[in-house]
Amino acid sequence: MIKNILFDLGGVIMDIRRDNCVEAFKKLGMADPGQFLGDYAQKGPFQGVEDGSVSASQFRDEIRKLIPVRLSDEEIDDAFSQFLIGIPTHRLGELERLHESYRLLMLSNTNPIMWNGKIDSEFRKAGHDVGHYFDGIALSYEAKAMKPDLRIFRYAIEKLKMDPNETIFLDDSQTNLDAAARLGFKTLLVPPEKEFYQLLKDVNIQ
């Protein structure tokens, strides 16, 4: 029996667009931001701030080394946050509905700049903070590991007090789902242009 729904954030709840972020850093003067920014994983300082190996301030210092003009923290943070488009309010409503019957949990590869900035504000736009929607949250920069590394799933199991056999994990990356399945999670792929709540209804979770 499914008791827990474990959500990825970007590409499942929040709409994202990598190309927006690439263009934003190009406009700031970075020669080839595409080499660092992927759809599902990052490289260089972008990876470091998501796996927790560098702090937000260290990340900004590393970015400044790649751009030949003087930049403020705010300019860097804004360019980075262009990766995120936003959360449609109807998805927030669907989370509330599901929360009446299931424990809702989140497991996200993210970083403190986005988490404390755009992500926080997107959840608040319906009048609630993120804690209103979720019973527990596990983030890559706190776990010091990123999906699909099994360490982050083990971290989430312990932190969120969940049994994988009672949990369905939703992600937009099949690689991440395959890793979760190795630990016993039920999994559900959320492809582009699909809504998570419709896909859950298709497997009788509603």
Half-sphere exposure of 103 (CA within 13 A, CB side): 19
How distant is the alpha carbon of residue 30 from its chain centre? 24
| CA dist., res. 72 & res. 115, Å (int) | 19
DSSP state of 116: I
Q: Which of 4, 9, 1 is nearest to 190 (CA)?
A: 9
DSSP state of 117: I
178 catalytically annotated: no
| CA dist., res. 100 & res. 122, Å (int) | 21
| CA dist., res. 13 & res. 78, Å (int) | 21
Q: Is 106 helix (H, G, I), strand (E, B) or coil?
A: strand
Read off the amino acid at residue 85: I
Residues designated catalytic? 8
